Every structure is written in C-alpha cells, then in structure tokens.
C-alpha cells in the first residue's frame, strides 16, 4: 500500500471515529464504514482502528473474524449469499445453488477469477415464507427460480459496462 | 491522586466492569445483607456476592475452570454450575450475584451429570497425553477429570494433533491442541496486563485463541511476561524450556557452568515440592544446585546491589545535570529497567519515552557481563568456556538474554535463562527432594549479598533498595534514623500505584565511591525527591498516560516499574498456580529474608566495594561500567507491518 493511500485511509477512519465516538462501542459502525468503502478490512486498518479507539488490534481482529459481513480479505464486487436454512431448503434452494454454480463456474466460498462474483451460504434471511431467498450485496431476492438467477446475474454483469459503480461506495444492486 | 488508589480503576476496562453487579445506592431500604442457603448451610452475605464466593465462606467447594481470582468473571466453562431453587436451569455460580434470598444446592444429580458432561465434551477436543505434558500432576483439567471419575471418553478423544505448536517466541510456547477455550489467557493479556496479544476469533466450534492476524507469537507485540502461562489451567501455554541445553553444558567437562539465583524463585520453589507458599529454600537450593553439577552458585542479589549503585548514580547524575547544569535535555522521571517485560512494553507502547529508562542493565545481565570478564580474569578461566545460567522467576528473561545487544563481555552475557519451574524439574530429575537438603552458602567472590538485593523480588523492592542507598550516600545519615529497621514501608504493599516523597533537609560528605563524579551535595539541600512504584503493565500504562497528561506521576524523579502483578515474585516463571494470597505469602518470605541479613544496604556490600576497587576502578557510570553494565533500547512501536 502506498504511503498516501495509508494516509487517506487513516484520515477516513479518524473521520468515522469522530462521527461514531471514540468509545469501543463505535467499533462495529466504523468497521462497517470501512467495509462499505474498501470491501475488506486489512491488517493495517485494524491496527489504525484499534489505535484510534484505544483498544487492542487483536480485539478488532476477533470482531472482524466473528462477523461474516465484515471480511478480512477482499471478495468479489457482487457477493451472492444464498439462504441455506430449512424453509428455503424445502422450497428447493439446491436447484438455485446448482444454477449459480453452473452460471458462475465456481463453488460456494469461492470468487470468480475476474473478481466480480463471490458465492456464499447465508443463514436465515428472514424470508421463510417466500423462499428460496438470496442476497446480492444489500439487495434481497425472494422466490428465486433458476430462470431468475440467470436474469439477476445478467443484470449484475450489465451494471459493469454502463455505469459501473455510482461513486465508489454504492453499487448498483 | 485518589483515583490511583481506587482498586476498581486499576483493573479491567469499562467493558468488563459492566459484568459486575452494582449494589443499589439505597442499601438501607433493601438491606445490605442477604441470606443464602448453600447445601443447607445458611449465611448472610453482602448484596452482589457471587454464589461461588459465598460457598467458599461456608467451606463448600465448587469446581472451577475459567474462573480465576485475578481476572474478571467470564462464566464460559460452566463447570461451576449449581442448582438454584425455583430456577428451571442450572446457574454458573461464579457469575451469579446474589440479590435476593436463595437456596442453592451444589451437588445434586443434575449438577453432577452436567459437570461430567462438560468434562466429557472438553476432553473430546483436548488432544494430548497426560504423561507427555509438563503440567502432568499440576493440571486443573486432569484434576477435575479425576474428581468426577472420568474413566472413558464418552464423546471420543482426538488421536491426532490439529494444530502446529507455535515455538516462534523465545519465551512462550503455545500448543492450541491442549487449549480448552477458558479464555483465562485472553483476560490476563487484555484486562490484567493490557498488552492485548491473545483474543478469541471466529464463532462456536470454530473459535480458537489467536494472536493478531494469527501470526506466530514471536512476531506480535508480546512482552513475554508469561502471566498467561501462570493462569492457564492446562498445558496449552508454557515457557521455552532450555533444561536439555543446561544439562548438556553440565555434562561437558570443558565447560565451567555458573548459575545465579534470583530472590523470587527461592520464595516460590518450595511450592513445586508440595510445600506451602512462602517457605524460602535459599540455602537448601544452593546444595541441590551443586549436587546437580553446577560448578559455582552465585547470588543475583550481588548484581542487584550493583544495579542499585549504577542506577542510583545515574539518577544523581540526572538530578545534577538538571539542577546544577540546567540541562534541558535531561529526562525525568527516570524509569527502572530491571524488568525485561516492562522494558519491552515501553519499547512497544511508549517508544518516545525510552530516554527515561535507566540505561543500567538488569541484574541478570550485569551479572553475566561481570562473570565473563572480572570473574574469568580472577579465576584464570577462558570466558568462552564459561556457561552462565540464570535462575529467574521470569519468562521475559529468556528473551532478554537473547537480545543481540547483550554481548558486551564479547560473549553472550547470559547463556540460558531458567524459570523456577524448570529448575524444580531439574532438581527432581537429579533425584533430590529439595526441602530435605542440608543448607549451604553461596560461592565467593560474590557470596555476600544484602537485604536490599533480596527485596528486588517484590514490587517496591527496587525503590526501597535505591532509597536506602541514596539516603545514606547523600544525606550522610542512617536510614534507620528515618525509617524503623530501615523498612521503607510506604513503597511496600500491593496497591497498584504508590507514591512517596522524601525531602532532603541536610546532606553529608560525598562518599569515596562517587568522589570522581560529584564535588558536594549542597545543590540537593531543600529538594524533595518524589518517587512512585507501579506493578503490572496495566498500572504501568496508567502511570505513562498520567505522565503524558502532566499529572502527579510526571513530577516524580524516579519510578519503579514491574511488568508482573506483585513484582518478580508473581513472575511468569514462578510455580503454578498464582493468586493474591500466594503472592502475599511469597512477599512475606522475601521481606523476612531481608530482615535476617546483617548487611541490608547495597553500598555496604563488601563484594560490591571490592568490585569497584579491583575492577571497575573508575567508579559507577564510568567508561568501563557503561561498556559492560549499561545498554541501549530499541524503539519498536506497536504497529506490525
């Protein structure tokens, strides 16, 4: 990482800490901001966050590894999380899983070589009455069928060409 | 200054304090005492007492694993569950504050079954064979398994190791296969010591005690204090054991093996042989060490006295520079540098304060340098054939003796650092029952030591020893004139941070030893020497933050820091277990030994006087003494790149 990038990162973190408070309870909101902007939490970030919140870096590491929506390593631009709990399973999420693996050419827990898609399992998304449910970044899709998987992925792919990302922080879906 | 004395403030951070019960402000209305019945025995306890504490009062034993007297409550292992009448589920007694009259049963069928179940589950993940473990016969898990009659592994037992043993640190070895996730080490590291090396990551069955970024222990910001070792209930953490190398040196006829023994191990080693804490075995140990095959047995107290002379002179030099020469570059307060854990803590967390650290080496390293130069010359020995072993209560000393700068004698000043536990192991291996040994004295030429050296083992001891010498050298009076029996009690005790002020009303002549450095003491008349003592790095941190903020600590001239709670007697190399009572017993043993010495002040030690007349002829803090007895520090910082 370049020195200027590090300075930028530190500045950002200090800003968020000022926003959420320099107490240890600000840890998760700050980490969420970092995740939103940089898509992962690097070791350097964890040390800066610990330093500004006056806690130990290892505590930040413990929190980061605890939550699956905060990641240690960069993932794809689109993180697809398919619900694997019982009601979605009864409504045929295995067909969706096969379709996703087929279309993307990767298994669960992997990222496509172009860095666009990451496929993961998720536990209950709270959409049990409208399964199978699936989360693409922050957007939820319900009653997903193998056909709609196709459409959703297409929409994602199209999003790259036209207007990529609206700014760095938000993504089209 | 009151907040320093507040016991709550010198312990766990805010997050942990919330777990404690806050008694209601209006105790009159509710009644400050509450009655509780434990196994039919009724007693009254203050509101907020836990069931576990209450049961101790009536002599009912409840087994514990994650609970430790020095640490905040975690309530994770559930081995201490009990039945509370009227509650549908079992309750963890260590984390249950009594707020209303209750009836507790501690060994019903349900409780016994639950405990056995927990043990079976713990053992299903605990890899390792008891007879190939250094904690054999001293393991809390093993003891509980016996207590609850575990005779088979109901849920299986791992047959292969799942983790690689982390041997990267020169001081602490971590074997996660033996870890039962009680989090005592985590609480020790984060709350008790506030160093923050260990934490639990992930969730549920994937959680594991890890370091930052799961890096090897040698690569993270660990100060090697070893407090985690002392509190681990199993063998997951242990010190790096060099006994094989020491035996090899003893067996080699060309090597002259010399051991120096620090004051604290003597007060603790008896515990390894089944004695009560606080039985000193100094002279029995000398005999045992000779029988083990060590060629010479020396007393680290000698170099502790030497440290006092060098460090005390440095303090006087700093004062002289500041008061007389008006030198703006002189840094106050001066910090002690005897505790290698504290030194590394300062290098990591307060690198900007390294100028404050006394440049004097620790007693262990001073002794090594003296042995491989002065002693070698005196006895016509080739220093390359001398092997210096140091018996220390400390795991950080292993790191210290391997510091690259600690080779001023031309060789490694100290070859091996042994902990109290490891020496006890060596003594047992030699077939010796230590308490039954006849007594014998230390070897010359460093045989004579003083009481000042002995008290280095307790928190406040370095300060007391330094004050005894400085008062006599500067004021020209006897310490006994100011303090009864030369016991400087204000710096003693176990309060986290202690202050003392000493006004210098009149001065005496400059003693012979310091004539080369000072002409007179007149410039000190009317000054008030302010000193402070802190033990445990959590308290050290508080002092450092106070200095940064310009508080009372920043006005001090000299501050003693010890990395371990209680000072060296609670060190990471001392016998396991540890508790406030055990440490207090060891402190009593140390102060009793001090009181028994005829010579109790460092500058009166005849061996020290001889060293300065025969070898370090230019006096303390001279060129030669700086070369051999002083060192420099490395600013390490707290970021891992």
Shared domain check, A156 and A111: yes
CATH number where B224 lies: 3.30.70.20
Cβ contacts of B160-167, under 8 Å, gap ≥ 24: B160/B127, B161/B127, B162/B127, B166/B216, B166/B217, B167/B240
CA-based nearest residue to B178, from B199, B161, B202: B161
Burial annotation B3-20 (CB, 10 A radius, 16+ → b, else e): ebeeeeebbbeeebeeeb
pLDDT of residue A157: 87
The answer as to whether A130 is a domain residue is yes
Burial annotation A64-83 (CB, 10 A radius, 16+ → b, else e): bbeeeebbbeebbbbbbbbb
Shared domain check, B466 and B338: yes
pLDDT of residue B486: 86
Contact residues, chain B, for A65 at CB < 8 Å? 201-202
Contact residues, chain B, for A109 at CB < 8 Å? none
Shared domain check, B332 and B235: no
Handedness of CA A92, A98, A101, A103 (dihedral sign): negative
Residue B253, Cβ neighbours under 10 Å: how many? 6
The answer as to whether B145 is a domain residue is yes
What are the CA-CA distances from residue B274 to residues A128, B138, B271, B277, B372 (Å)? 62, 11, 5, 9, 36
B167-180 pLDDT, tens digit per residue, is 999 999 999 999 99
Helix (H) or strand (E) holding B562: strand B558-562
Phi-psi map region of A143: left, alpha, beta (phi>0 left; psi -120 to 50 alpha): left
How large is the C-alpha radius of gyration of chain B?
26
Mean pLDDT, chain B, rounded, equals: 91
Task: Test A61 with B639 for CB contact under 8 angstroms.
Answer: no
pLDDT of residue B5: 36
Task: Test B200 with A62 for CB contact under 8 angstroms.
Answer: yes
The answer as to whether A168 is a domain residue is no
pLDDT of residue B533: 95
pLDDT of residue B20: 53
Q: What share of chain A is helix, strand, coil (3-state, %, to 5)?
A: 55, 10, 35
Q: Which two tokens mark B30?
A: 């509710």
Please give the average per-residue pLDDT across B326-340, as a whole number.
Answer: 93
Is the pLDDT confidence value at A162 over 80? no
The answer as to whether B61 is a domain residue is yes
CA-based nearest residue to A131, from A150, A145, A149: A145
Domain ends where: B223, B239, B255? B239
What are the CA-CA distances from residue B230 to residues A65, B46, B188 (Å)? 28, 31, 10
Shared domain check, B618 and B557: yes
Domain ends where: A27, A44, A66? A66
Shared domain check, B196 and B144: yes
Please give the average per-residue pLDDT across B248-267, as a whole number.
Answer: 95
- Cross-chain CB nearest to A59 (options B196, B203, B638): B196
pLDDT of residue A65: 93
pLDDT of residue A168: 42
pLDDT of residue A171: 46
Shared domain check, A110 and A42: no
- Check whether the bond before A122 is cis (ω within 30° of 0): no
Nearest CA in chain A to B195: A56
Nearest CA in chain B to A24: B15
Give the minimum alpha-carbon distance from A106 to chain B in angstroms, rounded to a whole number: 24
By annotation, the residues of B acting in catalysis are: 311, 314, 338, 358, 397, 400, 405, 568
Shared domain check, A51 and A10: yes
CATH number where B7 lies: 3.10.20.740
Task: Test A51 with B638 for CB contact under 8 angstroms.
Answer: yes
Distance CA B258, CA B391 (A): 11
Count of positions (residues) in chain B: 641
Domain ends where: A66, A88, A108? A66
Shared domain check, B535 and B504: yes
- Cross-chain CB nearest to B202 (options A55, A58, A66): A66
Shared domain check, A116 and A58: no
Domain ends where: B203, B221, B239? B239
Is the pLDDT confidence value at B436 over 80? yes
pLDDT of residue B21: 55
Local confidence band at B380 (pLDDT 50, 70, 90 cut-offs): very high
pLDDT of residue A131: 84
Task: Test B201 with A24 for CB contact under 8 angstroms.
Answer: no
Shared domain check, A39 and A107: no
pLDDT of residue B268: 94
Shared domain check, B231 and B326: no
pLDDT of residue B306: 94
B34-83 pLDDT, tens digit per residue, is 899 999 999 999 888 899 999 999 999 999 999 999 998 888 999 999 99
Distance CA B135, CA B132 (A): 9
Shared domain check, A158 and A90: yes
Shared domain check, A83 and A55: no
Shared domain check, A51 and A91: no
The answer as to whether A72 is a domain residue is no
Rounded to the nearest 10°, the torsion over CA A36, A37, A39, A42 is: -120
Identify the bridge partners of residue B559 per DSSP, sorted by sequence position.
B335, B532
Is the pLDDT confidence value at B15 over 70? no
Shared domain check, B128 and B98: no
Interface probe for B, chosen from A25, A41, A62 (most Cβ of B below 10 Å), is A62
pLDDT of residue B29: 58
- Cross-chain CB nearest to B212 (options A51, A57, A66): A57
Give the minimum alpha-carbon distance from A72 to chain B in angstroms, rounded to a whole number: 9
Residue A51 near residue A84 (C-beta atoms within 8 A): no
Domain ends where: A21, A43, A66? A66
Interface probe for A, chosen from B202, B207, B208, B212 (most Cβ of A below 10 Å), is B212
Distance CA B501, CA B462 (A): 16
pLDDT of residue B293: 95
Is residue A90 helix, strand or coil?
helix
Local confidence band at A173 (pLDDT 50, 70, 90 cut-offs): very low
pLDDT of residue B303: 92
Task: Test B14 with A24 for CB contact under 8 angstroms.
Answer: yes
> B537-548 vs B340-349: helix axis angle to the nearest 10?
40
Shared domain check, A82 and A154: yes
- Structural domain tally of chain B? 3
Interface probe for A, chosen from B201, B221, B348 (most Cβ of A below 10 Å), is B201
The answer as to whether B261 is a domain residue is no
Give the minimum alpha-carbon distance from B570 to chain A in angstroms, rounded to a whole number: 24
CATH number where A59 lies: 1.10.10
Shared domain check, B482 and B340: yes
Local confidence band at B204 (pLDDT 50, 70, 90 cut-offs): confident
pLDDT of residue B26: 63
Containing domain of residue B158, as a range?
Answer: 120-239
Is residue A78 helix, strand or coil?
strand
Is the pLDDT confidence value at B118 over 90? yes
Give the minimum alpha-carbon distance from B186 to chain A in angstroms, rounded to a whole number: 10
Distance CA B379, CA B387 (A): 14
- Cross-chain CB nearest to B198 (options A24, A58, A65): A58
Which of B444 and A21 is assigned the larger pLDDT? A21
pLDDT of residue B48: 84
Percentage of chain B exceeding pLDDT 90: 80
pLDDT of residue B485: 86
Scan for tokens 């200090």, then name that residue. Answer: A14
Residue A117 near residue A76 (C-beta atoms within 8 A): yes
Identify the bridge partners of residue B137 per DSSP, sorted by sequence position.
none
The answer as to whether B636 is a domain residue is no
Instruction: State how far Cα B152 lies from the chain centre.
Output: 39
The answer as to whether B289 is a domain residue is no
Shared domain check, B187 and B131: yes
Which of B430 and B24 is assigned the larger pLDDT? B430
Local confidence band at B24 (pLDDT 50, 70, 90 cut-offs): low
Give the minimum alpha-carbon distance from A153 to chain B in angstroms, rounded to a whole number: 31
Task: Test B14 with A46 for CB contact under 8 angstroms.
Answer: no
Interface probe for A, chosen from B15, B195, B199, B636 (most Cβ of A below 10 Å), is B199
Is the pLDDT confidence value at B237 over 80? yes
Residue B173 near residue B240 (C-beta atoms within 8 A): yes
Shared domain check, B133 and B98: no
Q: Which two tokens mark B267?
A: 């007060």
Task: Test B190 with A56 for CB contact under 8 angstroms.
Answer: yes
Burial annotation B429-438 (CB, 10 A radius, 16+ → b, else e): eeebebeebe
Is the pLDDT confidence value at B369 over 50? yes
Q: State ipTM.
A: 0.89
B487-517 pLDDT, tens digit per residue, is 999 999 888 899 999 999 889 999 988 988 9
Is residue A117 helix, strand or coil?
strand
pLDDT of residue A161: 54
Shared domain check, A158 and A84: yes
Task: Test B213 with A61 for CB contact under 8 angstroms.
Answer: yes
pLDDT of residue A166: 40
What are the residue ranges of helices labelled H in B148-299? 184-187, 227-231, 243-251, 263-268, 282-292
- Structural domain tally of chain A? 2
CATH number where B575 lies: 3.40.950.10
Contact residues, chain B, for A43 at CB < 8 Å? 212-213, 640
Residue B363 near residue B371 (C-beta atoms within 8 A): no
Least confident of A159-163, B102-106, B617-621: A159-163
Look up residue B210 and give its DSSP letter: E
pLDDT of residue B215: 95
Distance CA A22, CA A14 (A): 9
Shared domain check, A62 and A37: yes
Is the pLDDT confidence value at B449 over 80? no
Distance CA B564, CA B547 (A): 20
The answer as to whether B432 is a domain residue is no
The answer as to whether A120 is a domain residue is yes
B525-568 pLDDT, tens digit per residue, is 999 999 999 999 999 999 999 999 999 999 999 999 999 999 99
Shared domain check, B191 and B87: no
Is residue B9 helix, strand or coil?
helix
Scan for tokens 């370090």, then name that residue. Answer: B616
Local confidence band at A87 (pLDDT 50, 70, 90 cut-offs): very high
Is the pLDDT confidence value at A24 over 90? no
Least confident of A157-161, B179-183, B342-346, B469-473: A157-161
The answer as to whether B263 is a domain residue is no
A124-148 pLDDT, tens digit per residue, is 999 999 989 999 988 999 999 999 9
CA-based nearest residue to B443, from B378, B384, B393: B378
Containing domain of residue A28, as a range?
Answer: 3-66
pLDDT of residue B46: 87
Shared domain check, B124 and B101: no
Task: Test A61 with B198 for CB contact under 8 angstroms.
Answer: no
Task: Test B640 with A43 for CB contact under 8 angstroms.
Answer: yes
- Cross-chain CB nearest to B201 (options A55, A57, A62): A62
Residue B70 near residue B84 (C-beta atoms within 8 A): no
Distance CA B115, CA B392 (A): 38
CATH number where A113 lies: 3.40.30.10
Shared domain check, A55 and A35: yes
Q: Which two tokens mark B534?
A: 């802190």
Domain ends where: B187, B218, B239? B239
Is the pLDDT confidence value at A164 over 50? no
Distance CA B161, CA A70 (A): 30
What are the CA-CA distances from residue B456 to residues A51, B107, B224, B362, B462 (Å)? 34, 45, 19, 11, 5
The answer as to whether A169 is a domain residue is no
Please give the average per-residue pLDDT across B272-296, as a whole number.
Answer: 94
């Amino acid at each position: 990482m370049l020195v200027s990038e590090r300075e930028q990162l530190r500045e950002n973190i200090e800003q968020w800490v000022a926003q959420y408070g320099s107490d240890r309870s600000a840890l998760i909101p700050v980490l969420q901001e970092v995740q939103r902007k940089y898509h992962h939490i690097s070791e350097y970030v964890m040390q800066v966050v610990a330093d500004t919140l006056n806690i130990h870096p290892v505590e930040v590491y413990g929190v980061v590894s605890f939550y699956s929506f905060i990641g240690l390593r960069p993932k794809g631009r689109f993180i697809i999380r398919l619900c694997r709990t019982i009601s979605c399973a009864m409504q045929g999420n295995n067909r969706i899983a096969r379709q996703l693996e087929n279309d993307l050419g990767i298994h669960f827990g992997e990222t496509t070589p172009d860095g666009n898609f990451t496929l993961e399992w998720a536990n209950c998304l709270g959409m049990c009455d409208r399964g199978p449910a699936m989360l693409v970044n922050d957007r939820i899709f319900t009653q997903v069928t193998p056909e709609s998987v196709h459409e959703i992925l297409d929409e994602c792919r199209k999003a790259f060409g036209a207007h990529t990302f609206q700014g760095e922080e938000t993504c089209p879906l | 200054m009151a907040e320093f004395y507040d016991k709550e403030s010198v312990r766990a951070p805010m997050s942990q304090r919330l777990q404690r019960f806050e008694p209601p402000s209006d105790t009159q209305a509710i009644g400050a005492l509450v009655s509780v019945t434990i196994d039919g025995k009724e007693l009254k306890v203050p509101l907020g007492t836990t069931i576990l504490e209450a049961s101790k009062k009536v002599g009912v034993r409840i087994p514990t694993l994650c609970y430790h007297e020095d640490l905040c409550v975690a309530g994770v292992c559930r081995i201490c569950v009990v039945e509370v009448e009227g509650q549908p589920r079992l309750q963890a007694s260590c984390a249950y504050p009594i707020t209303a009259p209750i009836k507790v049963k501690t060994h019903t069928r349900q409780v016994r079954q639950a405990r056995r179940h927990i043990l079976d589950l713990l053992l299903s993940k605990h890899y390792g064979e008891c007879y190939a473990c250094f904690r054999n016969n001293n393991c809390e898990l093993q003891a509980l398994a016996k207590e609850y009659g575990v005779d088979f592994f109901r849920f299986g037992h791992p047959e292969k190791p799942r983790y690689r043993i982390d041997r990267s640190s020169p001081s602490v070895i971590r074997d996660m296969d033996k870890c039962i996730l009680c989090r005592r080490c985590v609480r020790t590291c984060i709350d008790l010591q506030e160093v923050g090396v260990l934490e639990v990551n992930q969730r549920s069955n994937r959680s594991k005690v890890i370091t930052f970024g799961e890096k090897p222990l040698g690569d993270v910001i660990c100060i090697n204090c070893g407090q985690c070792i002392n509190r681990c209930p199993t063998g997951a953490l242990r010190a790096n054991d060099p006994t094989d190398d020491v035996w090899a040196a003893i067996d080699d006829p060309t090597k002259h093996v010399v051991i120096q023994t620090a004051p604290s191990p003597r007060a603790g080693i008896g515990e390894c042989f089944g004695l009560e804490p606080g039985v000193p075995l100094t002279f029995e140990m000398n005999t045992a060490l000779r029988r083990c095959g060590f060629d010479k047995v020396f007393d680290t107290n000698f170099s502790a006295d030497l440290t006092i002379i060098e460090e005390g002179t440095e303090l006087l030099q700093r004062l002289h520079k500041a008061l007389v020469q008006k030198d703006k570059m002189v840094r106050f307060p001066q910090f002690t540098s005897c505790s290698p854990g504290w030194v590394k803590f300062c290098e990591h967390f307060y690198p900007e304060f390294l100028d404050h650290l006394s440049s004097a080496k620790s007693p262990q390293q001073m002794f090594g340098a003296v042995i491989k130069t002065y002693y070698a010359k005196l006895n016509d020995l080739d220093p390359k054939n001398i092997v210096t072993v140091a018996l220390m209560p400390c795991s950080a000393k292993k790191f210290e003796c391997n510091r690259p700068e600690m080779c001023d004698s031309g060789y490694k000043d100290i070859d091996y650092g042994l902990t109290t536990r490891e020496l006890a192991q060596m003594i047992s291996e030699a077939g010796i029952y230590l308490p039954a040994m006849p007594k014998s004295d230390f070897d010359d030429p460093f045989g004579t030591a003083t009481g000042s050296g002995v008290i280095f083992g307790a928190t406040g001891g370095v300060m007391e020893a330094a004050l005894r010498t400085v008062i006599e050298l500067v004021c020209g009076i006897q310490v006994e004139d100011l303090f009864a029996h030369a016991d400087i009690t204000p710096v003693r005790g176990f309060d986290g941070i202690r202050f003392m002020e000493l006004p210098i009303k009149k001065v005496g002549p400059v003693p012979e030893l310091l004539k080369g450095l000072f002409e007179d003491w007149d410039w000190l008349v009317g000054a008030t020497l302010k000193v402070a003592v802190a033990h445990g790095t959590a308290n050290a941190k508080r002092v450092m933050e106070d200095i940064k903020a310009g508080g009372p600590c920043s006005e001090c001239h000299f501050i003693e820091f010890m990395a371990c709670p209680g000072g060296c007697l609670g060190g990471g190399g001392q016998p396991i277990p540890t508790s406030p009572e055990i440490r207090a017993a060891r402190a009593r043993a140390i102060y009793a030994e001090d009181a028994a010495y005829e010579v109790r002040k460092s500058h009166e030690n005849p061996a020290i006087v001889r060293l300065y007349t025969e070898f370090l002829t230019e006096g303390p803090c001279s060129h030669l003494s700086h070369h051999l007895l002083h060192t420099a520090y490395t600013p390490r910082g707290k970021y891992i790149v």
